Amino acid sequence: MKIQRIIVTGRLREVIRQYVDEDLYEYKFMAEEEVNEADLSWADAYVGFAPPAQASLTSVKWVHSLGAGVDAFLFQRPWNKAVLLTRTICSFGERIAQYCLSYILRDLQKHDEFQAQQQQYRWVPATPHLLHTQTVVVFGTGEIGRELAKVLSSFGVTVIGLSRSGAAQIYFDQVYEMGRAEEVIGKADWIISTLPLTRETECIFNRNFFCQLRHAGFINVGRGRTIQDEALVEALATGNVRKAVLDVFAQEPLSKDSLLWNHPNVIITPHISAVTTPEEAVQCFLETLREVETGNVPSNIVDLQKGY
């Protein structure tokens, strides 16, 4: 595929500009809202975190997402199947694994409990729990899910995966098809979602799901619209969910009216569990550009049918 003219958008566009060779390719560095149909008619490729606000991507040859997720491009949007779509793959798995591990350890080691006692000048010994006693069910067994399973299993955690196919994966003790979730989620000490947003996963964590949990912790590092927020709040009230760690939301920034902000058993972080660093974004973009131009199938190509 011959690529000559490239539009780069999003918050990293000026950083990317410092690394690319503008003698080899013609570039336009723009905000998403600035891109119009004339720009896209000029371009062979579009690079960014989200599609342009006022124009369609049907005429370019290649679109590269600067994030791991591509729901901004595909979810409830028409897509020209002739347009190649790739995504950024870098240290996301490592970052998310460490993020999740930190909050599980915080809970098992009773950090909040002991800090509250310190503020009250109370000395009340309690025995922390060990990681090897935990069963964690991970929704999604792709590269992020596998890295998460690798880290958790190294500490003796029992890690069960749920995926579309149910195919066995390295580092997971067992993997089940998504339709068999009810067979395992009731055994979980922790549920962790790494799921993308697709037609199948939208609101998958609903009242029916949460009512099957037994005082489990819940971590979402996938996509916010996979959760019904009202159902989660209800599950926290009933104790089906004892603690929720949420890094992604249907609306970002999270509305100040959300009941999640002040809930004592909810931890909110501002979508930082898998940050795209400028260096990694540039490296992945340039490597993918070389693969596209040489006719190779990029390893980070998106399956349009699956939506990820």
Q: How many other C-beta atoms can be found within 10 angstroms of the C-beta atom of residue 174? A: 15
Concatenated DSSP letters for 102-149?
Answer: HHHHHHHTTHHHHHHHHHTT-----PPPPGGG-EEEEE--SHHHHHHH
- Where residue 76 falls (left for φ over 0; alpha for ψ -120 to 50; beta otherwise) is left
Query: Computed from CA positions of residues 229, 235, 238, 239, in that sequence, does the dihedral angle turn out positive or negative?
Result: negative
CB 220 within 8 A of CB 246: yes
Measure the CA–CA gap between 242 and 7, rounded to whole angstroms: 46
219 by DSSP, 3-state: which? Answer: strand
Q: Token pair of 42, please?
A: 């000029």
Q: Token pair of 298, please?
A: 């990029």
Measure the CA–CA gap between 32 and 52, rounded to whole angstroms: 4
Q: List the catalytic residues.
A: 223, 271
Distances (CA, A) of 308 to 121, 202, 232, 270: 51, 14, 25, 22
